């Protein structure tokens, strides 16, 4: 009786749960696509604006930093003021700013609009998770819904290169922004029709000063992770970022532990479920984003694929993810979720391990099995992790919890890209010397020497890609072991429904 009452209480405040899920998946896909398609347009943007590679990198960096800063902020705002209103206006803002980005007249205007895109897009992930958690009162259905939703994030990372490659190869680079208009309008219509109206309640006071402190700490951390390889990890700029991260991180802790409505409630870090979920998520997204970065680069550099063709490589992964994500949720309900997460990450590690022996004679079919295993593993593991992050806290704190989870995933992905890019560069330099010392050139003609030099560099780079995928496989395997021995989860129960909702449900019969 009590469980039925809880479900009625939750359902009265929502639209149809599966329509809510479909709606927020459109938003998740849109934001995820925007993160990946722009990277493929960089060469044409550089040509139009006459900028260098290092300068163009700020187009991506501006978005990453802005998005990372505001994910936890909007998670808290959703808890305080309502998820629907935050989600709705972020969608409107994202469509509008995307149009402006497509109309950018120079490099600086594009960077500015990318900052705004990161800001308004940051609201989608935490509010989407919160809306799903509040729409599905029954734990098994909630876990399944979150599993399906979590696959949409990874699918966007797969579809992004595919769609972006087509737009870049066949249209102007500005279409990677204009494509957001039709998708955004469809998502906006669904938002107005299907998302439940927010229930008025106690709003509390938003922690503005805490948001400023947190912004500086996150900005410095993401900036050095993203740009440290170009600056030098021990350069003065990097050291300044380290110092700002430590100082403002300490100030955030001092301030937030005293505030009545903190943006990041540090009591979460005393919750073993949240801590274990964040640790595994950090590692898994680091491995995923590192692999996503390097595979298209390899395909275009050594296999001479176009941007569109390199995007096709990810189709097996895109098909595996939505199949195995719901399966991961079901298995997590039948067995201890840590076994599902551990097995999934182990499967992903195997997929990356199979990519260690890359060579220029490979065909697209050689990538099918590794990427199916990688996608299947991510699908199995993401669903229980996402579910655990929302079911281990009361419903009125789901926005804050989901904001923290997505911040961790963003930073984990940024670390993965930075670490694996650094390993690739350093290993390539070492391998050039090693291959050169073990090579014998039986001609002294300039043409032969030039060809030998090219082949030595190619061999060194191929060996380096294998090394990087080996490290990525090792990272995923470490995540699997952490999940197996340390991951903690629990299901939500009726206490997650605020008492006032139970009273309202009882009064309504």
Residue of 93, 118, 500, 153 lying closest to 318 (CA atoms) = 153
In this predicted structure, the answer to whether residue 247 has a pLDDT above a threshold of 90 is yes
Helix (H) or strand (E) holding 339: helix 337-353
Q: Are 313 and 368 in contact (CB under 8 A)?
A: no
The least confident of 161-165, 201-205, 244-248 is: 201-205
23-42 per-position pLDDT tens digit: 888 888 888 777 777 777 77
- The single-letter DSSP state of residue 494 is G
Q: What pLDDT, on the 0 to 100 scale, is given for residue 158?
A: 66
In this predicted structure, the answer to whether residue 287 has a pLDDT above a threshold of 60 is yes
Tell me what the pLDDT averaged over the chain comes to. Answer: 78
Residue of 421, 70, 57 lying closest to 218 (CA atoms) = 70
Residue listed under structure tokens 């550099």: 301
Mean pLDDT of 303-332: 77
Q: What pLDDT, on the 0 to 100 scale, is given for residue 109?
A: 92
In this predicted structure, the answer to whether residue 6 has a pLDDT above a threshold of 60 is no
Q: What pLDDT, on the 0 to 100 scale, is given for residue 445?
A: 67
Mean pLDDT of 53-80: 78
In this predicted structure, the answer to whether residue 13 has a pLDDT above a threshold of 60 is no
Residue of 47, 24, 5, 147 lying closest to 509 (CA atoms) = 5
The least confident of 250-254, 416-420, 437-441 is: 437-441
Mean pLDDT of 434-438: 67
- E strands present in 60-175: none
Q: What pLDDT, on the 0 to 100 scale, is given for residue 440?
A: 64
Q: What pLDDT, on the 0 to 100 scale, is given for residue 154?
A: 63
Confidence class of residue 499 from pLDDT cuts 50, 70 and 90? very low
The least confident of 29-38, 158-167, 180-189, 374-383 is: 158-167
Q: Which value, to the nearest 10 degrees, does the dihedral of the CA atoms of residues 66, 69, 70, 72 take?
A: 160
Confidence class of residue 100 from pLDDT cuts 50, 70 and 90? very high
Q: What pLDDT, on the 0 to 100 scale, is given for residue 444?
A: 66
In this predicted structure, the answer to whether residue 1 has a pLDDT above a threshold of 60 is no
How is 281-303 classified by DSSP, letter by letter?
HHHHHHHHHHHHHHHHHHHHHHS
When comparing pLDDT for 117 and 80, which is higher? 117
Does 2-196+261-503 carry CATH code 3.90.1300.10? Answer: no
- The single-letter DSSP state of residue 271 is -
Confidence class of residue 271 from pLDDT cuts 50, 70 and 90? confident
Rounded CA-CA distance 423/466 in Å is 11
Mean pLDDT of 192-201: 76
Rounded CA-CA distance 366/375 in Å is 15
Q: Are 22 and 194 in contact (CB under 8 A)?
A: yes
In this predicted structure, the answer to whether residue 268 has a pLDDT above a threshold of 80 is no
The least confident of 152-166, 226-240, 271-285, 377-391 is: 152-166
Token pair for residue 321?
């993810």
The least confident of 159-163, 195-199, 235-239 is: 159-163
- Secondary structure of 345-401 in HEC code, one letter for each residue: HHHHHHHHHCCCCCCCCCCHHHHHHHHHHHHHHHHHHHHHHHHHHHHCCCHHHHHHH
Residue of 41, 35, 99, 37 lying closest to 67 (CA atoms) = 35
Name residues whose C-beta falls within 8 Å of residue 371's C-beta, 6 or more positions apart in sequence.
313, 314, 316, 317, 320, 351
In this predicted structure, the answer to whether residue 200 has a pLDDT above a threshold of 60 is no
Q: Are 453 and 329 in contact (CB under 8 A)?
A: no
In this predicted structure, the answer to whether residue 10 has a pLDDT above a threshold of 70 is no
349-402 per-position pLDDT tens digit: 999 999 888 788 888 888 889 989 988 888 888 777 777 777 777 766 776 777
Distance of CA 504 to the CA centre of its chain: 37
When comparing pLDDT for 178 and 461, which is higher? 178
Confidence class of residue 156 from pLDDT cuts 50, 70 and 90? confident
- pLDDT exceeding 90 applies to what percent of the chain? 6
When comparing pLDDT for 99 and 130, which is higher? 99
Name residues whose C-beta falls within 8 Å of residue 291's C-beta, 6 or more positions apart in sequence.
352, 355, 374, 420, 469, 472
Mean pLDDT of 281-307: 78
Token pair for residue 249?
């991180």
Confidence class of residue 496 from pLDDT cuts 50, 70 and 90? very low
- Secondary structure of 147-184 in HEC code, one letter for each residue: HHHHHHHHHHHHHHHHHHHHHHHHCCCCHHHHCHHHHH
In this predicted structure, the answer to whether residue 195 has a pLDDT above a threshold of 70 is yes
Distance of CA 484 to the CA centre of its chain: 23
Domain boundaries along the sequence of the chain: 2-196+261-503
Is the torsion defined by CA of 407, 409, 411, 414 positive or negative? negative
Token pair for residue 427?
């290993």
Q: What pLDDT, on the 0 to 100 scale, is given for residue 504?
A: 37
Q: CA of 351: how far to CAs of 92, 376, 417, 470, in Å?
A: 39, 9, 18, 10
In this predicted structure, the answer to whether residue 187 has a pLDDT above a threshold of 80 is yes
When comparing pLDDT for 188 and 462, which is higher? 188
In this predicted structure, the answer to whether residue 242 has a pLDDT above a threshold of 80 is yes
């Amino acid at each position: 009786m009590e469980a039925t009452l809880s479900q009625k209480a939750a359902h009265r405040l929502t639209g149809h749960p599966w329509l809510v899920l479909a709606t927020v998946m459109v938003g998740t896909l849109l934001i995820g696509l925007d993160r990946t398609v722009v990277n493929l347009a960089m060469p044409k943007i550089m040509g139009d604006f006459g900028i260098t590679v290092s300068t163009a990198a700020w187009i991506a960096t501006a978005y990453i930093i802005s998005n990372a800063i505001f994910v936890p902020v909007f998670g808290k705002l959703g808890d305080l003021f309502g998820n629907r209103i935050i989600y709705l206006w972020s969608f409107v803002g994202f469509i509008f700013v995307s149009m402006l980005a497509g109309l950018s007249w120079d490099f600086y205007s594009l960077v500015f609009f990318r900052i705004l895109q990161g800001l308004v897009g940051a609201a989608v992930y935490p509010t989407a998770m919160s809306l799903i958690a509040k729409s599905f009162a029954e734990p098994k259905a909630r876990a399944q819904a979150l599993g399906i939703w979590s696959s949409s994030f990874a699918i966007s990372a797969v579809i992004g290169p595919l769609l972006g490659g087509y737009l870049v190869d066949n249209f102007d680079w500005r279409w990677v922004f204009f494509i957001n208009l039709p998708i955004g309008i469809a998502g906006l219509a669904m938002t107005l029709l299907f998302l439940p109206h927010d229930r008025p309640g106690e709003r509390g006071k938003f922690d503005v000063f805490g948001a400023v402190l947190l912004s500086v700490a996150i900005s410095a951390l993401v900036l050095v992770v993203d740009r440290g390889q170009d600056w030098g990890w021990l350069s003065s700029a990097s050291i300044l970022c380290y110092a700002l991260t430590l100082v403002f991180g300490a100030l955030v802790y001092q301030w937030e532990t005293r505030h009545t409505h903190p943006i990041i409630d540090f009591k979460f870090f005393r919750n073993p479920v949240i801590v274990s979920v964040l640790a595994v998520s950090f590692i898994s997204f680091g491995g995923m984003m590192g692999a996503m970065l390097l595979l298209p680069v390899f395909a275009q550099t050594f296999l001479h694929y176009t941007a569109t063709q390199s995007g096709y490589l990810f189709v097996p992964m895109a098909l595996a993810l939505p199949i195995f994500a719901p399966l991961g949720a079901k298995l997590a309900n039948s067995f201890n979720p840590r076994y599902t997460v551990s097995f999934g990450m182990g499967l992903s590690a195997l997929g990356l391990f199979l990519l260690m022996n890359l060579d220029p004679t490979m065909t697209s079919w050689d990538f099918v099995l590794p990427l199916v295993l990688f996608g299947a593993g991510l699908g199995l593991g993401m669903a229980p992790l996402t579910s655990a992050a929302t079911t281990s806290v009361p419903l009125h704190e789901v926005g804050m919890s989901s904001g923290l989870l997505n911040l961790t995933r963003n930073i984990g992905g940024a670390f993965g890209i930075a670490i694996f890019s650094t390993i690739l560069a350093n290993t390539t330099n070492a391998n050039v010397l090693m291959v050169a010392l073990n090579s014998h050139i039986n001609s002294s003609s300039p043409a032969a020497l030039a060809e030998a030099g090219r082949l030595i560099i190619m061999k060194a780079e191929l060996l380096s890609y294998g090394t990087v995928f080996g490290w990525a496989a090792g990272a995923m395997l470490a995540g699997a072991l952490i999940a197996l021995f340390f991951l903690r989860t629990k299901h939500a129960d009726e206490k997650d429904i605020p008492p006032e909702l139970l009273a309202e449900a009882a009064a309504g019969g």
